[in-house]
Amino acid sequence: MEPKPRALRILDILTIALILVASVMVFFYAPMEVVMGQVQRIFYFHTSAAWIGMLGFIVAALVGIAYLRTHDQKWDIAAVASVEIGMVFTLIAIIGGAIWARPIWNTWWTWDPRLITVTIMELIYAAYLMLRNGIEDPDRRARFGAVYAIVGVITVPLTFFSIRIFRTIHPVVIGGSDPNATGAFDMTPRMLQTFLFSLFAFTVMYVDLLWNRIRLGRLAEMVEELKLKVTQ
């Protein structure tokens, strides 16, 4: 396999630097929220991880469309990479949310619309990976995967808008909040700056991880092609 591109090596370093700066801003620059205290700081990572999870699934649907139009395997590799990243960060968001909820809601889990929809979203994409693992033919696997990713992306807007449509205790930090939401708060200028920088840092990390995972996917494709040649 070709050596790692210089641009990717630079992006790796930039990603690490941005995440470190974001962490410093979260713990030392953003002021402590007066009601929730220190546990509120997890919000910056929780929300950023949730954003990357949704972004990963959206990108998978877009490259799925590109595959169906071109039948180029590079789009299938990108779709798998994006789904895997999306699943990891969605899981991080769920765990982070549970850590936040324990002192604020006095429970690790509640059947809130946002928690239900995000869990359904995660399980749907877990099924996506199971579907792919059950299909041996590469072209058929890529075609089925592309269609599944396109249909599955419906869960993204459903998850995003769930706390804006249904009665919920989950706070909506951007764009107001339900009066019954427990844990809602108004961001000060430094909180907002930290929040936006965290979103930016995590987005750059997504691009970096996607690029690295696509390179790994290409290597796996080469190995699979060699296996097919041996068995023929």
- Taking only the tens place, the pLDDT of each residue in 142-182 is 999 999 999 999 999 998 887 777 767 677 666 555 555 55
Mean pLDDT score, 66-73? 95
**Nearest 5°: CA angle at 133, between 129 and 139?**
100
Enter the tokens of residue 16.
């690490």
Its pTM stands at: 0.89
Q: How far apart are CA 4 and CA 75, in angstroms?
A: 20
Q: How far apart are CA 201 and CA 178, in angstroms?
A: 29
Please name which of 127, 122, 119 lies closest in space to residue 144, comparing C-alpha atoms. 127
Amino acid, res. 136? E
Whether the CB-CB separation of 11 and 214 falls below 8 Å is answered with: no
Task: Please write the tens of the pLDDT for every residue from 176-231.
Answer: 555 555 555 678 889 999 999 999 999 999 999 999 999 998 887 777 667 666 76
Enter the tokens of residue 17.
């630097």
Contacts of 213 (CB under 8 A, 6+ apart): 81, 84, 85
pLDDT at 41: 92
**Nearest 5°: CA angle at 91, between 86 and 95?**
150
Percent of the chain predicted with pLDDT > 90 = 63
